[in-house]
Amino acid sequence: MAEARKLYIRTYGCQMNVYDSERMAEALGGNGYVEVSSPEEADMILLNTCHIREKAAEKVYSELGRMRELKLARPDLKIGVAGCVAQAEGAEIMRRQPMVDLVVGPQSYHRLPEMEREAGQGAKVLDTDFPEEDKFEKLEARPKAKRGPAAFLTVQEGCDKFCAFCVVPYTRGAEVSRPASRILDEARDLVDRGVREITLLGQNVNAYHGAGPDGDWSLARLIRELARIDGLARIRFTTSHPNDMGDDLIAAHGECDKLMPYLHLPVQSGSDRILKRMNRQHTAEGYLRLVERIRAARPDILLSGDFIVGFPEETEADFQATLDLIEAVGYGSAFSFKYSTRPGTPAAERPQVAEAEKDERLQRLQALITRQQRAAQDGMVGREVGVLFEKPGRMPGQMIGKSDYLHSVVVDGPAPEAGTLSRVRILASHPNSLLGECI
């Protein structure tokens, strides 16, 4: 029996890349690969890249440069670049780094087994097309290995919104939703292997409109059907666009017990002028009214958001409007970033805000978000919440899990084993976690 070959995947960026990396590993498993934890022991290295953050491509080239010694020492080592940087850079990656054997975009990774075989015969292989076939349909069935208690499940890819700062429509393509039956089958398979919580993923997940047996299903319809699966205890979804937060999805937050009271709803700015320049196609007031409707359906819901600081032509008044919106909403958590240009996007060609101003504004915004986040965590003390335990803590007898509200919760022994969903009383709030006891 041939010895298994070893695969190392380094994943950058969002949860969708985490899901994609899992499927890449499964696809290459059919070619005799097993995953390992370090590049030094691998026969094949894959970098699954993200193009959202600043200088993403240069960071990939830098990482490839560090792997040059591994390739020189072992010429038979195969190195591949996947994901959104692969899609955006294409042949330029191979030109700048000739040691790279294959480059594959995020819509073509179902071809990895074939590409790996070609690379093994000495070819340089590039595939950054947007193929007509459904990659999920072409992927082999997931192996029956035991899984951890929480898993990601991609239901939708691509985006049609064309925000002025974003490369996703160019690297992931137009919005495409997977058929509902395939999602339900994959969810049942995950539950059979020990998964109790599933997070539904999409670049614009609440725009989901997958084919069902009686016409296209909305995300709300899909969630309600997933909730019927025995053994699936929790459902989450990310990332949403305010314009696709319809009445049925708002209602699901109030009516579906398995849909967790946590919603990531990016707004990016509180200034209508900047929102228009961003091509967000909503206003700050519209966003605030939407938040009111969501909280009317689920009063205890915890909201998180995304904010871009220093978007081209942002003034101090524009920035203050963002701070005002944050104060009005009261977020449990948020992600905030300085604007950085993405070649080919409309905003890249506009007058830029000075870096010093971006830095100063980001510090002010993050200080406000930190205060709100701490207040939300402190408000959990004394409450009883559900916690899905996932892994041991650093101290003997400790277990760590996620609450209904996505807070990290630490429980000292006696604590349940991984995969257990328990009621926990919160005893204390720490900067990055809560301390609790099982009831």
For residue 3, is pLDDT > 80? no
For residue 373, is pLDDT > 90? yes
Q: What angle do CA 294, 13, 208 make, to 5 degrees?
A: 40
> Which are the contacts of 379, defined by CB distance < 8 A and separation ≥ 6?
none
- For 288-318, b where at least 16 C-beta lie within 10 A, e where not — what string? eebbeebbeebeebbbbbebbbbbbebeeeb
For residue 144, is pLDDT > 60? no
Question: In this structure, how many other beta carbons lie within 10 angstroms of the beta carbon of residue 380?
Answer: 21
Say what the pLDDT of residue 139 is: 66
> Average pLDDT of 348-368?
96
For 281-311, how does the pLDDT look when each residue is reduced to its tens digit (9 = 90+)?
999 999 999 999 999 999 999 999 999 999 9
The owner of tokens 């054997």 is 101
Tell me if 336 sits within 8 A of 358, measured CB to CB.
no
pLDDT category of residue 132 using cuts at 50, 70 and 90: low
Arithmetic mean of pLDDT over the chain: 92
Q: CA separation (Å) from 21 to 14, 18, 153?
A: 11, 5, 12
First to last CA, the chain: 51
pLDDT category of residue 166 using cuts at 50, 70 and 90: confident
> Which are the contacts of 237, defined by CB distance < 8 A and separation ≥ 6?
199, 200, 201, 202, 205, 206, 219, 223
Say what the pLDDT of residue 128 is: 81
- For 163-176, b where at least 16 C-beta lie within 10 A, e where not — what string? bbbbbbbbbbbebb
Say what the pLDDT of residue 169 is: 83
Q: How many whole angstroms separate alpha carbon 114 and alpha carbon 63? A: 25
Tell me if 176 sits within 8 A of 89, measured CB to CB.
no
Of 396, 391, 385, 363, which Cα lies nearest the Cα of 436? 385
DSSP assignments along 66-125, one per residue? HTHHHHHH-TT-EEEEEEHHHHHHTHHHHHH-TT--EEE-TT-GGGHHHHHHHHHTT--E
Walk me through the domains of the chain, giving residue ranges and CATH numbers.
5-127 (3.40.50.12160), 145-378 (3.80.30.20), 384-438 (2.40.50.140)
Question: In this structure, how many other beta carbons lie within 10 angstroms of the beta carbon of residue 225?
Answer: 16
For 174-199, how does the pLDDT look when each residue is reduced to its tens digit (9 = 90+)?
899 999 999 999 999 999 999 999 99
User: Is 438 assigned a ligand-binding role in the annotation?
Assistant: no
> Which are the contacts of 229, defined by CB distance < 8 A and separation ≥ 6?
184, 187, 188, 191
For 200-221, how does the pLDDT look when each residue is reduced to its tens digit (9 = 90+)?
999 999 999 999 999 999 999 9
pLDDT category of residue 424 using cuts at 50, 70 and 90: very high
User: Is 84 assigned a ligand-binding role in the annotation?
Assistant: yes
pLDDT category of residue 85 using cuts at 50, 70 and 90: confident
The residues pairing with 333 across neighbouring beta strands, listed in sequence order, are 304
> Average pLDDT of 144-162?
87
SS3 144: coil
Tell me if 334 sits within 8 A of 306, measured CB to CB.
yes
The owner of tokens 């904010």 is 307
> Which are the contacts of 320, defined by CB distance < 8 A and separation ≥ 6?
none
Residue 181: its H or E element: helix 180-192
Strands laid side by side in the 197-201 sheet: 150-154, 197-201, 234-238
Say what the pLDDT of residue 138 is: 60
User: Is 256 assigned a ligand-binding role in the annotation?
Assistant: no
Of 154, 114, 110, which Cα lies nearest the Cα of 131? 110
For 221-267, how does the pLDDT look when each residue is reduced to its tens digit (9 = 90+)?
999 999 999 999 999 999 999 999 999 999 999 999 999 999 999 99
Tell me if 111 sits within 8 A of 133, measured CB to CB.
no
Say what the pLDDT of residue 135 is: 57
For residue 134, is pLDDT > 70? no
For residue 57, is pLDDT > 90? no
Say what the pLDDT of residue 253 is: 98
Percent of the chain with pLDDT over 70: 95
> Average pLDDT of 390-414?
92
Say what the pLDDT of residue 200 is: 98
Q: What angle do CA 52, 54, 56 make, to 5 degrees?
A: 70
Residue 234: its H or E element: strand 234-238
